[in-house]
Structure 1
Amino acid sequence: MAADYRTTILSPNLEEYRSVEDVRRFAVFSKMLSGSLQEHYSADFTVLIHTESPNGFSSFKSSVLTSVGSVPDSFEDRVENLFKSDSNTSGDFKRETWPEAECLVHRLAVTDRDTIVFVLGFQSINLPNAETRQRFAESLEKIQPEISDIYLISKQAQKIEELRRRLESAEDQLDSPGMDLSKGIEHLEIAGDSESVIGVNTCSQRMKTVLSQISKIGLSDLSLLIRGEVGTGKAFIARKIHDHSSQQDRPFEMISCGALTPSLVEGELFGWKKGAFSGADEDRAGLFERANGGTVFLDEVSELPQEVQQKLLRVIQENEIRPIGSSDPVAVKCRIISSSCKDLMELVNQGDFREDLYYRLSGFQCEVPPLRERSEDMQALINGFLFDLRKEHGISKRFSESASQELCGFAWPGNIQQLKNVIQQAYLMSEKRVIARKVILSVIQGSTADALMSEKFAVTPEEICIRIPRIEGFNEIVSEVERAVILSAMQQNRGNKSRVTKQLKIPRQTLYNKLERFGITEDEWDL
């Protein structure tokens, strides 16, 4: 029987609440659980009451947590007042004293001081019998551990949130006009065992290993392929490799292969002669010619068109280029460093990248770890960006303790570049010199929403396209898809919930639960 209760009452709600933030988890879970109880026992409504004895024995607090279904007018107030005046009230509500409905009542202790009262109301002629009363009590007792755990998680999260608010308030008071915030920013304190390898400071052991490998081949002319996610600093690493190589006194030229149209890439790489095409009013040296004797960095080389890949291979093999509009080759000798956030070998297998070019570019390969895997470097990066902003704007600012914790705890799918963007925006938005956590949260949420509605989220009349980082777990991926579907439907129907439920073929209560769970507000669909 216990397994049946978990399957029919508890299980439908467990997966729903897992992706909800801890502070709101019990509120969302209790709403969903109330709906399951109402449906399972064919009740007309469900009301959940929270009673608390703050000092453990003498005084009581009572409040309605949630309600589902057709609750009679003033019923909630009457029930709340009843338990507020007598927290030990027990037994079902009979028609003789409760004309609004006949109710099953069960009290469930979730802590030594907190109790959840479940009220199941029946207004129809199908009133509960003795068997229903017994099953109702048994079902709640069987799932009491899970309910208690979820309640405690949310309560602790709320306490932590309250402490954060108090901390931020204290930090605001400490932010007096006479405070000198330059100390600690000028002299960056880097936690952990910091080490400089090829000019890159890092505390991350994994990053040290990568940089150490690079340093061993730095003085050679071996071609190098840098792999890593977007925003991990591949271009920065490439520059440092050049600065610590035998070509350090020679030019360093780079090109973003994905930023140019196919018609422009060839001219940028190899140059052109005057009159080669419309608009070519003078000779122009290409990337390889300008970098002759030095280093060429091909950022996101996977984006090169196939025809340009073939010409690039010939340049590497023959050490000469042929500018557009010229029949005379130009001798060049450059070290080539390239980067990609995609798996080039997979592109080779798919026929989108030349295999011979791949082996020419990948004389040595390394992978820059994402920021989430080098958390030891977070504080140093934060301090470094603040230091740069202070030099640029002349104003010393720092993050509050809670804001720093928020920065260090975020997943940063956009890695170092996203971190830098958020810090810059927070620095400029904050009117105070101590940047509060709420500023960070607003910037992160804003950038996430912008990303969702741009490159990660696209809607057409025929389909919804959403890009989700591979770092997400199964539940997070499902939640992102659900949120995208709900938000898209709300926007399409201009917030008309009846139309949304018909379009998505879901009950109205399910829609309300999803809107609450994902925190979707009118501002998001009323565009």
Structure 2
Amino acid sequence: MAGETILVADDDKAIRTVVGHALGRQGYDVRLTSNAATLWKWVDDGMGNLVITDVVMPDGNGLDLIPQIRKRRPDLRVIAMSAQSTLLTAVKATERGAFEYLPKPFDLSELLDIVDRALASRDEDAKLPDGGEEEGRLPLIGRTPAMQEVYRVIARLTATDLSALITGESGTGKELIAKALHEFSKRRAGPFMAINMAAIPRELIESELFGHEKGAFTGATNRYAGKFEQAQGGTLFLDEIGDMPLEAQTRLLRVLQEGEYTTVGGRTPIKTDVRIIAATHRDLKQLVQQGLFREDLFYRLNVVPIRVPPLRERRDDIPDLVRHFLGQCAEEGLPQKTLTHAAMERLKSARWPGNVRELENVVRRLAALYAQDQIDVDVIEAELADQPSYAANNAFDPEKESLSQSVERHLKRYFEAHRDNFPASGVYSQVLKEFERPLISLCLDLTEGNQVRAADILGLNRNTLRKKIRDLEIPVVRGRK
């Protein structure tokens, strides 16, 4: 909305300049300041149609200003940005009434999009979310962009009761995300109950979830309150929801639709007030296609999808995670340890198929089993002896393995990386296609584009080779090296 005035407060001159120029090019009138006092004076004087403020400034905290701005001018949207990009910062910004939170560094195009949405939303009800903040509540570890997106989703859900589906590989911390959703929600005073579908015998899942009456089945000598009853007023976390039997899925769907359930052996419907958060490492859409998971239940659970990134997508978070785990070990009475730079870099280069859980186990062994106060790279190498580095895992050494072994190794990584979203069919033809294209392309490079020679080397009919080149869209350049 060109012509409107945007107030920008940030003590970093470079950020002020870049943001000012970007907004100016969009036709906005931009006012820039380096301090909170000037920003507040502008707001108090009735200036501006939108505020963009840093969190930490020399004379105050931008988060502390937000409630004052919202009280003084309820229609004035505030965008908070911060280099202190933690979950707590994101949640505080949202709880205090920020329209949006942006971790630094940010993409200017994203900022401009948020500015457009903020100005367009001024006629909406600007209700402040309930609940204060507690400084020590469940900080998640990580400052990488992948984790920032998780934080922002959690922050947006603080004032809602929407169901969420958390997906991610084993060991990524899905239950921590579920606890964060609970701890920063309006249900924080209620119980948080967790149940793992994969850890309970199928015949007992309905009883565990909904409870049972005395005499409902052999061995039911007393009435049992299920997880729904225990979680009343709070949050129920259904871990590994992909392992839930179909009959239990049907009963769960009724609870989500009707807000009531009956115990096993019971007849009287019981009203429930529970927020549902589910998690899985499996591809539920694929399970739906295979008839193993109800499609209507999937959409009921997947109101807000949250993907937890694997550790290999957030390697720069590893130092913070290591220091966090070492600190926990010290609090538990284990010796305080530090790691050399080389040791930390070796941890960052590892593959971590077990994700954060595997990293935590390694760190705990370092704290418990080694006498030295500072852990060097040779200790890390010993701990990771059976786990080659990420770089080494991509290398091919013809003296140590055959081509077949190398292909097998790469296929294992492919299967591992796609185990949660593997296609229902067609894997054989897909893998062959992926293998054929580089094979033919490299052979054409070797023959400098001579298809007759390439066909001989490959042992293919020339017409067959031409068809594959066309089908696989392989460029052919005569005389190429």
TM-score by length of 1: 0.48
Which residue of 187, 196, 206 corresponds with 1:266? 206
Q: Which residue of 2 aligns with 1:313?
A: 253
Aligned to 1:230: 170
Question: What corresponds to 1:333 in structure 2?
Answer: 273
1:354 corresponds in structure 2 to: 294
Q: Is the 8 A contact 2:194 2:237 kept in 1?
A: yes
CA distance in 2, matches of 1:443, 1:264: 40
- Which digits, 9 at most, give the CA deviation of each residue in 1:60-101, with x for residues without a partner? xxxxxxxxxxxxxxxxxxxxxxxxxxxxxxxxxxxxxxxxxx
Q: Is 1:299 matched with 2:239?
A: yes
* 1:319 Cα deviation after fit: 1.3
Residue matched to 2:316: 376
Q: Is the 8 A contact 2:335 2:367 kept in 1?
A: no
Deviation string, structure 1 residues 317-361 (Cα, Å, up to 9, x no partner): 121121112222221121111111111111111111100100110
Return the alpha-carbon distance in structure 2 between the equivalents of residues 216 and 427 of structure 1: 37
| TM-align CA RMSD | 2.5
Q: What does residue 241 of structure 1 align with?
A: 181
What letter corresponds to residue 220 of structure 2 in structure 1? A
Distance (whole Å) between structure 2 residues aligned to residue 394 and residue 364 of structure 1 = 40
Matches within 5 A, 1:137-152: none
Equivalenced residues, count: 267
Aligned residue type for 1:470: A
Q: How does 1:9-48 map to 2 (within 5 A)?
A: none
Question: How many angstroms apart in 2 are the aligned matches of 1:210 and 1:392?
Answer: 29
Q: Which residue of the other structure, out of 126, 147, 151, is the alignment partner of 1:211?
A: 151
Q: Rg bigger for which structure?
A: 1
What CA distance in whole angstroms lies between the structure 2 residues aligned with 1:340 and 1:429? 34
Structure 2 unaligned segments of length 5 or more: list them. 1-82, 92-138, 389-410, 420-430, 432-481
Shift of residue 471, structure 1, vs aligned partner? 7.1
CA deviation string 1:337-387 (max 9, x = no partner): 111111111111111110010011011112111111112211110000000
Residue 86 of structure 2 is aligned to residue 195 of structure 1:
yes
Contact kept in structure 1, 2:193 and 2:235, CA below 8 Å:
yes
**Counterpart in the other structure of 1:282:** 222
Q: Distance in 1 between matches of 2:173 and 2:300?
A: 23
Deviation at 1:311, TM superposition (A): 1.0
User: Cα distance, 1:275 vs. partner?
Assistant: 2.2
Which letter maps to 1:250? G
CA shift at 1:227, angstroms?
A: 1.2
C-alpha change, 1:214 and 1:322, in structure 2 (3 Å) is same
Q: Normalised by the size of structure 2, how large is the TM-score?
A: 0.52
Indicate yes or no: 2:416 matched with 1:469: yes
Q: Which amino acid aligns with 1:357?
A: L
Change (3 A) 1:274 1:424: same
**Superposed displacement of residue 443, structure 1:** 2.8
Deviation of 1:439 after TM superposition, in Å, equals 3.0
Q: Shift of residue 307 of structure 1?
A: 1.0
**2:377 alignment partner in structure 1:** 437
The answer to whether the Cα contact below 8 Å between 2:171 and 2:356 also exists between their aligned partners in 1 is: yes
1:363 counterpart = 2:310: no
Question: In structure 2, how many angstroms separate the alpha carbons of the residues matched to 1:349 and 1:329?
Answer: 32
Structure 1 residues without counterparts, runs of 5 or longer:
1-191, 449-464, 478-527
CA distance in 2, matches of 1:225, 1:285: 25
With over 3 angstroms needed to count, the CA separation of the structure-2 counterparts of 1:343 and 1:212, relative to structure 1, is: same
- Alignment partners' CA distance in 2, 1:220 and 1:294: 13
Match of 2:279, SS state, is: strand
Ranked by relative contact order (alpha carbons within 8 Å, sequence separation 6 or more), the top structure is 1
The answer on whether the counterparts of 2:340 and 2:375 sit within 8 Å (CA) in structure 1 is yes
The answer on whether the counterparts of 1:222 and 1:364 sit within 8 Å (CA) in structure 2 is yes
Cα shift at 1:278: 2.6
In 1, Cα distance between equivalents of 2:226 and 2:382: 44
Q: Displacement, 1:410?
A: 0.9
Aligned to 1:345: 285
- C-alpha distance in 2, partners of 1:278/1:414? 40
Q: Which residue of 2 aligns with 1:387?
A: 327
1:466 deviates by 7.4
Q: Which of 411, 417, 426 matches 2:366?
A: 426
Number of the residue aligned with 2:78: none
**Residues 273, 444 of structure 1: alpha-carbon distance in 2 compared, 3 angstrom cutoff:** farther
- Go from structure 1 to structure 2 and tell me whether the alpha carbon gap of 1:466 and 1:371 turns closer, same or farther (over 3 Å shift): closer
Aligned partners of 1:443, 1:262: CA distance in 2, in Å? 38
In the alignment, residue 258 of structure 2 is paired with which amino acid?
Answer: E
User: SS at the partner of 1:428?
Assistant: helix
Secondary structure of 2:358 counterpart: helix
